[in-house]
């Protein structure tokens, strides 16, 4: 009998974008801690009991950056990656949050610093292929063109 790898979907990824079009910048956070210390990343975190994935995205954005996006979208994308340490596959739905030019970031203790960078610069800094792939898709589908309203999440309503 063949062994099956466990698959877990208990995390989210959220890319926070400031403004639209060619002037758009994406938020990167420099990770602090024993896991991935010193690497640049997007907002990432776990889904709590009783919480939807999009609610977790909003909470994690607020906790890690102090921001509340005016618009939140499903990126219609799932990041998939393999953990060597845990010998399992993780999948995480991806969200895109838009904030205004006056957005004031307050990084949490999980991070050293933050930067608003171009999508090209973000692609250079992000360490994993799935992050760079997600970034390219977000740029193409949410920045270079108007995002589909079918993907917009009305986050002022209860789940």
CA dist 109 and 132 (Å) reads 25
**What pLDDT does 36 receive?**
77
> Any idea what DSSP says for residue 124?
H
**pLDDT tens digits, the chain, 159 residues: what are they?**
898 899 999 999 999 999 867 789 999 999 887 777 788 999 999 999 999 999 999 999 999 999 999 999 999 999 999 999 999 999 999 999 999 988 999 988 888 899 999 999 999 999 999 999 999 999 999 999 999 999 999 876 555
In the structure encoding, which two tokens stand for residue 137, read together? Answer: 């898709």
Q: Answer for the pair 82, 89: CB distance below 8 angstroms, yes or no.
A: yes
**What pLDDT does 34 receive?**
75
Domains and CATH numbers, the chain: 7-153 (3.90.79.10)
């Amino acid at each position: 009998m063949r062994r099956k790898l466990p698959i877990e979907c208990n995390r989210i990824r959220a890319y926070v974008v400031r403004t639209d079009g060619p002037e758009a910048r994406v938020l990167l956070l420099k990770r602090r801690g024993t896991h991935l210390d010193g690497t640049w990343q997007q907002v990432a975190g776990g889904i709590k009991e009783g919480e939807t994935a999009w609610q977790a995205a909003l909470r994690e954005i607020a906790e890690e950056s102090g921001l509340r996006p005016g618009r939140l979208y499903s990126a219609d994308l799932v990041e998939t990656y393999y953990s060597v340490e845990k010998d399992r596959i993780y999948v995480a739905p991806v969200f895109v949050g838009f904030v205004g030019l006056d957005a004031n970031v307050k990084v949490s203790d999980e991070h050293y610093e933050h930067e608003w960078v171009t999508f090209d610069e973000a692609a250079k800094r992000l360490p994993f292929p799935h992050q760079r792939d997600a970034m390219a898709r977000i740029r193409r589908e949410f920045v270079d063109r108007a995002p589909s309203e079918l993907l917009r999440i009305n986050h002022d309503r209860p789940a």
